[in-house]
């Protein structure tokens, strides 16, 4: 899945994403794109095409999702299995 398709699918609304972490375990995250309230400044140390920064609603912090490891996305009443 590419970044543009992911952003068009979830938009600026809440979504659930299931993905495989680096250690191989599955993680389910409720998140949102475009949250800027908790930013502290600075620049990203990376700019890779397959990584997206999201705001994790449950843990109240920013997380990075590798789009290559996404298994499922639930957004706007749609469920997409990759």
* Boundaries of every domain in the chain: 3-81
Beta bridge partners of 19: 27, 70
| Fold of the 3-81 domain | SH3 type barrels. (2.30.30)
With a threshold of 0.75, does the pTM exceed it?
Answer: yes
Residue 17 is predicted with a pLDDT of 97
Q: Are 79 and 71 in contact (CB under 8 A)?
A: no
Structure-token match 């998140």, residue found: 31
Structure tokens at 60: 């109240």
On average, the pLDDT of the chain sits at 89
Q: Are 78 and 9 in contact (CB under 8 A)?
A: yes
Residue 36 is predicted with a pLDDT of 72
Output the furthest CA–CA distance in the chain (Å, rounded): 35
């Amino acid at each position: 899945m590419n970044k543009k398709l992911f952003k068009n699918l979830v938009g600026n609304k809440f979504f659930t994403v299931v993905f495989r972490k680096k250690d191989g375990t599955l993680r389910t995250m409720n998140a949102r794109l475009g949250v800027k309230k908790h930013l502290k400044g600075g620049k990203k140390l990376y700019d890779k095409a397959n990584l997206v920064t999201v705001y994790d609603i449950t843990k109240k912090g920013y997380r990075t999702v590798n789009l290559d490891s996404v298994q499922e996305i639930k957004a706007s009443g749609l469920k997409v299995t990759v």
